[in-house]
Amino acid sequence: QDMTEKEILKMELDQLKKEVKNERQMVSKTGKEIKEYIESMAGEDPLLKGVPEDKNPFKEKGGCTIS
């Protein structure tokens, strides 16, 4: 890198000053909220439910038959 040690330390300090302002919450609370959200949205998740064939943009449009 072309940065001096002083510039690197200043950059790290600036980043830490930004991070200290973030509101923090306990994982025991947020983890439960995330789990509840995921479970409530599971019915609409195409990775779990699948995509209908008529709405699948990656489905091959035509086929090739060899006779």
Q: For the chain, what are the domain ranges?
A: 5-55
Instruction: Extract the residue ranges of the chain whose pLDDT is less than 50.
Output: none
What's residue 47's pLDDT? 86
- 5-55 CATH choice from 3.40.190.10, 3.90.230.10, 4.10.260.10, 3.30.1950.10: 4.10.260.10
Cα(34)–Cα(22) distance, integer angstroms:
19
Structure tokens at 28: 């025991």
What's residue 6's pLDDT? 94
- Stretch (H or E) spanning 52: none
What's residue 1's pLDDT? 60
